[in-house]
C-alpha cells in the first residue's frame, strides 16, 4: 500500500515538473516544457533596419507572419505548425543582435527550427537578396 502512494506521489511530482509556462521573447507566456533551451542568438555588423527587413522576409517566405511588434522589435510567425519569434535589438553602435525562439505545437522547444531561421537570415544578409526567387527545400 505504501509503495502505491510513493509511486503516485513521484508520478505527480514528475508531471508537475515537466509542464508549465515558458516566457517568449516578446514577454508573453505560453504553455510548454520549461528548462529546455529554445533560443538562438546571432550578432551581425548590420543596422537593425537591415536585420528587421531580412528577418521579416525570411519569416514570410518560410511560413505565415502572425504579428509584427515594432515597440518590442519582435516578429512572430507560424512555420510548419511551430511558433517562431525573432527579436532584433541594437547591441552596440556597430553590432545588432538577433534572438530566434521556436516552439512546437505541444510547447516543446525546437532548436533545429530556430537555428534554421537564424541561418536563413544570415544567408539573406550575406547575399543582399531580400526577395527569394524559389522556395527552399528542407
Question: Which of 113, 96, 6 minimizes the C-alpha distance to 58?
Answer: 113
Q: What is the pTM of this model?
A: 0.78
Tens of pLDDT along the chain (138 residues) come to 678 888 788 776 666 655 677 778 887 877 777 777 888 999 999 999 999 999 999 999 999 999 999 899 999 999 998 999 999 999 888 899 999 999 887 778 888 999 999 999 999 999 877 655 455 555
CATH topology of domain 2-127: Alpha-D-Glucose-1,6-Bisphosphate; Chain A, domain 4 (3.30.530)
Question: Which of 104, 128, 135, 132 minimizes the C-alpha distance to 36?
Answer: 104
Q: Residue ranges per domain, the chain?
A: 2-127
Amino acid at each position: 500500500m505504501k509503495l502505491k502512494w510513493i509511486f503516485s506521489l513521484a508520478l505527480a511530482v514528475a508531471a508537475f515538473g515537466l509542464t508549465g509556462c515558458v516566457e517568449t521573447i516578446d514577454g508573453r507566456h505560453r504553455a510548454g516544457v520549461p528548462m529546455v533551451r529554445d533560443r538562438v542568438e546571432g550578432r551581425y555588423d548590420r543596422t537593425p533596419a537591415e536585420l528587421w527587413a531580412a528577418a521579416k522576409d525570411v519569416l514570410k517566405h518560410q511560413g505565415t507572419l502572425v504579428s509584427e511588434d515594432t515597440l518590442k522589435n519582435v516578429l512572430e510567425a507560424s512555420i510548419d505548425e511551430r511558433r517562431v519569434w525573432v527579436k532584433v535589438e541594437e547591441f552596440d553602435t556597430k553590432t545588432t543582435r538577433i534572438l530566434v525562439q521556436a516552439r512546437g505545437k505541444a510547447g516543446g522547444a525546437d532548436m533545429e527550427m530556430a537555428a534554421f531561421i537564424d541561418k536563413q537570415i544570415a544567408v539573406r544578409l550575406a547575399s543582399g537578396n531580400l526577395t527569394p526567387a524559389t522556395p527552399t527545400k528542407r
